[in-house]
Amino acid sequence: MKFSCDKSSILKEILIAHDTISTKSTISILSNVLLDVNDSNLLINATDLKVSFKSQLPIQVSQPGTVAVLCDRLLDILRSLPEDNINFELKDNLFLSIIPEKSNIQFTLKCIPPDKFPEQHGIADDVFAEFPQKEFVDMISKTIFAISDDETRFFLNGIYIEKVENCLSMVASDGRRLALIKKKLTGEMDDFTGVIVPPKILHIIRKNTSGQGNLLFAITEKNIFVKLNNHLFSSNLIEGKFPNYQKIIPEQHEHKIIVSKAALQESLKRVSILVENKSRRVFLTLQENTLTVSSEESEIGMAKEEIACEYSGPEITITLNYLYLLEPIREIDSEKIEIEFTDNKKALSVKPLNDDDYFNIVMPLQKD
């Protein structure tokens, strides 16, 4: 195997491969990236057995070949090299030589035979559906923070994706809150049963999208596949049944607050300096057109701030984990937000003003 390519091109691919592999695995081959050189391209493969990455990079090929090499060491080497065209050569089927063309630097990495590298799932090109990159990433950002990290409730450890009529929806919940967003489909998409997608592949996709154009994705019985230009990402799905989230969405609320997103967001940041670390509890006290945000950390101090709002209901205090309010607010795009509720013991809704396609459900805490 012998080829050359510029540093920046291969570095970009190896960075994505490094995000994909498992650094904690006891299976040593999973710490490697597979380099497969054909007549004109370098094919790069990485996997942790659950999430996989494939890419194709045009290069100058002198001799085809295939080898597996430690991904983190290859990444460290590439980062250390000057911007240059780099020559790669496999010697004795065991050592990969890495030499920039215009310097005296030389690295040699011991390799592993490619036949030990695990096979990855494949899928036919004609089963993919198109979806705007920007909208797909926006949907991930608006829900991923609500995923549960409780491994005993594994069915909540991912984002639930389903097609409902002419919309694609994503839902996440940890049992105390729920985030839901839906986007209208502009192209054709086959019906599929709702699936639970692990967060790792979604983080990788969000990190590596340009936000321009469309991506392609396909869902099978056990896997999700996403194509981004010359990149193919895939992941196992989480087995299990996602709860019937429609049951916990209130049909209606008795009261509504309209408040500036920026004002509430900044107030929560300030007041949260003095919250109890375990409960992260803040108090929202509502009076006529006034919202008071307060917190108290025992034996240390308290904080309180009043902000203007549109509200005409009874005086009431709602106790919340401030992150359950702050995290969805960060993702809301409108200047004003709506908070709807019935009383201080029932779930409340948080959403952009006059927009029902994205909303969050939050359960209050019970005041001591």
How many Å apart are CA 137 and CA 140, to the nearest integer?
5
Q: Is residue 10 a part of any domain in this protein?
A: yes
Sorting pLDDT into bands at 50, 70 and 90, what band is 23? low
Same domain, 81 and 51: yes
How much is the pLDDT for 368? 55
Same domain, 101 and 26: yes
**pLDDT value at 48 more than 90:** yes
Sorting pLDDT into bands at 50, 70 and 90, what band is 173? very high
How much is the pLDDT for 122? 80
Q: Is residue 367 a part of any domain in this protein?
A: no
More confident residue, 93 or 350: 350
pLDDT tens digits for range 242-286 = 999 999 899 899 999 999 999 999 999 999 999 988 899 999 999
We report the CATH number of the domain holding residue 183 as 3.10.150.10
How many Å apart are CA 276 and CA 323, to the nearest integer?
12
**pLDDT value at 124 more than 90:** no
Same domain, 155 and 234: yes
Q: Are 113 and 123 in contact (CB under 8 A)?
A: no
Same domain, 233 and 263: no
How much is the pLDDT for 27? 81
Q: Is residue 49 a part of any domain in this protein?
A: yes
How much is the pLDDT for 87? 96
14: DSSP letter: H
Same domain, 216 and 269: no
**pLDDT value at 234 more than 80:** yes
Domain count, the chain: 3
Residues of the chain with pLDDT > 70, as a percent, come to 99
Q: Are 4 and 101 in contact (CB under 8 A)?
A: yes
Q: Are 317 and 309 in contact (CB under 8 A)?
A: no
- Single residue among 116, 135, 158 that ends a domain in this structure: 116
As a whole number of angstroms, the longest Cα–Cα distance in the chain is 80
pLDDT tens digits for range 320-345 = 999 999 999 999 999 999 999 999 99
How much is the pLDDT for 367? 60
**pLDDT value at 296 more than 90:** yes
Burial 151-184 (b: 16+ CB within 10 A, else e): eeeeebbbbbbbbeeeebbbbbbbebbbbbbbbe
Q: Is residue 368 a part of any domain in this protein?
A: no
Looking at every residue in the chain, the average pLDDT score rounds to 94
How much is the pLDDT for 333? 93
Same domain, 21 and 111: yes
Same domain, 240 and 268: no
Could you tell me the pTM of the whole model?
0.92
Instruction: Note down the domain range covering 288.
Output: 250-362
Same domain, 255 and 336: yes
Instruction: Work out the average pLDDT over 26-38.
Output: 91
Same domain, 232 and 130: yes
Same domain, 139 and 240: yes
- Single residue among 74, 97, 116 that ends a domain in this structure: 116
